Chain A
Amino acid sequence: MRALALIVRRDLALSFAGGGAMMPLIFFLLVATLFPFAVGPDAALLGRVGGGALWMAALLAALLPVDRLIEPDARAGILDQYVVRGISDEAVAGAKILAHWLGFGPPLMLAALPAAALLKLDGATVMRLEAGLALGTPGLAALAVATSALTAGLRGAGALAGLVMLPLAVPLLIFGAGGLGVQGHGALKLLAASSLLLLAGAPFAAGAALRAGRD
């Protein structure tokens, strides 16, 4: 357990120190800024489609750091050192998911506030968006780490990661955006369920990918 806590701390420190943790946020806010330019400054229209646009932005923002979650540690031999110390690949993946979520989920929820203001979302929708992000970002983080483990060391890993990750993120997007409606409680429950499923499966998928990648 102590080793896993240290891994979480290291990964979190690394994501903030490199400035990498800011990239998805800046991207997210940039989309929120650009979206009104693309569809026009009609407040009613923006309020209606803005929430969905923010979910799209969140999904793409989650994709940005995928090439940095596993590959640098694999190349530097750090993952090998974990293995030699008897820390299982699944546990390492779990720690990396937690660290990635901590560096990604809460900051994204904060950034969603100014973004929602830019898109003229009303208060109730913002609350539902925040609830959805709280439920959905852990699933996105799990998916990002699993994808990162699968594509680590491949040429063109960045593009491939998008092809692997985005289809798997469709349930999160559907239920997340569905949860924005007035009667979105059912969708939020399904969002939580999809997120849990990803969280439960991702450490094992990522662990298997890391083991396979060592050969």
Chain B
Amino acid sequence: MRSPAGLSFEAISCLRGNRLLFEDLSFALGPGAALMIRGPNGAGKSSLLRIAGGLLAPAAGRVVRSGDMAFTSEAAALDERLPLADALHFWARIDGRGRNDVDRGLEAMGLGPLDQVPVRMLSTGQRRRAALARVIAGKAAIWLLDEPANGLDTASLDRLAAAMTAHRAEGGIVLAASHQPLGLDDPQELAL
């Protein structure tokens, strides 16, 4: 059994260029927690997620993580020439998962019928769903979702909400930045 998931920011400040986006930001998320980050464009939502994921060093403060992470952003990070299932399988294997996990992810995002379609043929929304399928297949404890609802249709939004609910029920953490409601049950909110 893995140790309980945890993600906390301790007095984090973020400096981009010469602009201070936020400072002295602290929060702690335990198993099953969800935090929605809101704020206007350029407020630092993506930077916050990148700091959480270790992609960006904070100007000050410390991030404490317990558990592995999955991250989605604008970029799908899937090989364009490969069929969708194979492109996802590459990441599943890096995460120590198998084909069945990929299938589960595809199923959860309603991409089952597209599993043999090359990634380059997918539409914007389908790519976004594919990236979410990667997150689901990876079974990581901490989900970092940057605008996961962009380009998703209503049915896909419901699928995303269901996937996040299931993830939290298993003790996972969701940290999401979004303009629109994601259908999270009783999330904590943070306005930047």
A residues contacting B by CB (< 8 A) are 2-3, 6-7, 10, 14, 17-18, 75-78, 80-81, 83-86, 214-215
A80 to B54 Cα, complex, angstroms:
9
B73 and A85 contact, CB distance less than 8 A = no
30 pairs of residues in contact across A and B, judged by CB atoms under 8 Å: A2-B93, A2-B94, A6-B90, A6-B93, A10-B79, A10-B90, A14-B79, A17-B81, A76-B75, A76-B78, A77-B76, A77-B77, A78-B75, A78-B77, A80-B53, A80-B55, A80-B71, A80-B73, A80-B77, A83-B53, A83-B55, A84-B53, A84-B55, A84-B69, A84-B70, A84-B71, A85-B68, A85-B94, A86-B54, A214-B56
Q: How far is the CB of A186 from chain B (nearest CB, A)?
A: 44
Q: How far is the CB of B52 from chain A (nearest CB, A)?
A: 9
A75 to B79 Cα, complex, angstroms:
12
A84 to B138 Cα, complex, angstroms:
12
Given known pairs A80-B55, A84-B69, the reply for A75 and B90 (CB within 8 Å) is no
Which secondary structure dominates chain A's binding surface? helix
Which residues of B sit under 8 angstroms from A77, Cβ to Cβ?
73-77
A3 to B54 Cα, complex, angstroms:
18
B95 at the interface (CB under 8 A from A): yes
Which residues of B sit under 8 angstroms from A14, Cβ to Cβ?
79
Q: How far is the CB of A7 from chain B (nearest CB, A)?
A: 8
Q: Which of A2, A18, A75, A215 contacts B56 (CB 8 A)?
A: A215
B71 and A81 contact, CB distance less than 8 A = yes
A69 to B84 Cα, complex, angstroms:
22
A8 to B81 Cα, complex, angstroms:
17
Which residues of B sit under 8 angstroms from A6, Cβ to Cβ?
90, 93-94
Chain B: interface size category:
20 to 34
Can you name the residue of chain A whose Cβ is closest to the Cβ of B72?
A77
Can you name the residue of chain B whose Cβ is closest to the Cβ of A73?
B77
Can you name the residue of chain B whose Cβ is closest to the Cβ of A211?
B57
Which residues of A sit under 8 angstroms from B91, Cβ to Cβ?
81
Contact flags B47-89 to A (C-beta < 8 A → 1, else 0)? 0001001111000000000001111011111111100000000
Which residues of A sit under 8 angstroms from B78, Cβ to Cβ?
76
B175 at the interface (CB under 8 A from A): no
B29 at the interface (CB under 8 A from A): no
Which residues of B sit under 8 angstroms from A17, Cβ to Cβ?
81
Q: Which of B55, B70, B73, B76 contacts A214 (CB 8 A)?
A: B55
Can you name the residue of chain A whose Cβ is closest to the Cβ of B70?
A84
For the complex of A and B, 10 pairs with smallest distance between CB atoms: A77-B75, A77-B77, A84-B71, A84-B53, A81-B77, A78-B77, A3-B94, A84-B69, A76-B75, A83-B55
A75 and B75 contact, CB distance less than 8 A = yes
Other than the given A80-B71, A86-B54, 18 more pairs (CB < 8 A) read: A2-B94, A7-B94, A10-B79, A10-B90, A14-B79, A17-B81, A18-B81, A75-B75, A77-B75, A77-B76, A77-B77, A83-B55, A84-B69, A85-B68, A85-B69, A85-B94, A85-B95, A214-B56
A76 to B94 Cα, complex, angstroms:
17
Which residues of B sit under 8 angstroms from A7, Cβ to Cβ?
94
Can you name the residue of chain B whose Cβ is closest to the Cβ of A77?
B75
Which residues of B sit under 8 angstroms from A86, Cβ to Cβ?
54, 68
A80 to B55 Cα, complex, angstroms:
7
Q: Which of A2, A78, A84 contacts B144 (CB 8 A)?
A: A84
